[in-house]
């Protein structure tokens, strides 16, 4: 089994096409390699460490802080939503491709409190 997980993600970033008040989006793909060497993904601490690594990699792959985006000052809510979706999709995809049951379970438990408010 490989001790590295390649995360390929489609990160959406808003471009500065605001003259027409339309939010154009540019899609690009960035791949990040996340190591799980030395982690026991069947242990609680190993699975949690892996999730933290995946979240960190997703933040970096999706462009870091949304406030660095060129249209953040004009459309901060939009930019934050795009970045949050990018990060969420990246972590979800990485967790699914990892095929580590405990990582998947812990990730699902982390999502439940957030998802219960999504419809409000």
Long-range contacts of 35-38 (CB under 8 A, 24+ apart): 35/3, 35/4, 35/5, 36/3, 36/4, 36/5, 36/98, 37/3, 37/4
Q: Identify which has the larger pLDDT, 7 or 65.
A: 65
Q: In this prediction, what percent of the chain has a pLDDT beyond 70?
A: 68
| Res 43 pLDDT > 90 | yes
Question: Are the C-beta atoms of residues 26 and 13 closer than 8 Å to each other?
Answer: yes
| Res 57 pLDDT > 70 | yes
Res. 70 pLDDT band, cuts 50 70 90: confident
Q: How do strand 25-35 and strand 4-14 relate by DSSP bridges?
A: antiparallel
Tell me how far the alpha carbon of residue 116 is from its chain's centroid. Answer: 19
Q: State pTM to two decimals.
A: 0.72
Q: Which of 59, 113, 116 is nearest to 88 (CA)?
A: 59
Res. 19 pLDDT band, cuts 50 70 90: very low
């Amino acid at each position: 089994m490989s001790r590295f997980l390649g995360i390929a993600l489609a990160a959406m970033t808003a471009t500065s096409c605001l003259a027409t008040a339309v939010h154009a989006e540019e899609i690009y793909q960035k791949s990040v390699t996340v190591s799980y060497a030395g982690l026991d993904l069947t242990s609680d601490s190993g699975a949690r460490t892996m999730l933290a690594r995946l979240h960190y990699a997703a933040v970096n792959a999706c462009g870091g802080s949304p406030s660095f985006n060129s249209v953040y000052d004009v459309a901060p809510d939009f930019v934050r939503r795009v970045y949050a979706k990018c990060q969420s999709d990246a972590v979800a995809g990485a967790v699914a491709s990892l095929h580590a049951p405990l990582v998947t379970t812990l990730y699902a438990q982390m999502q439940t409190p957030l998802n219960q408010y999504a419809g409000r």
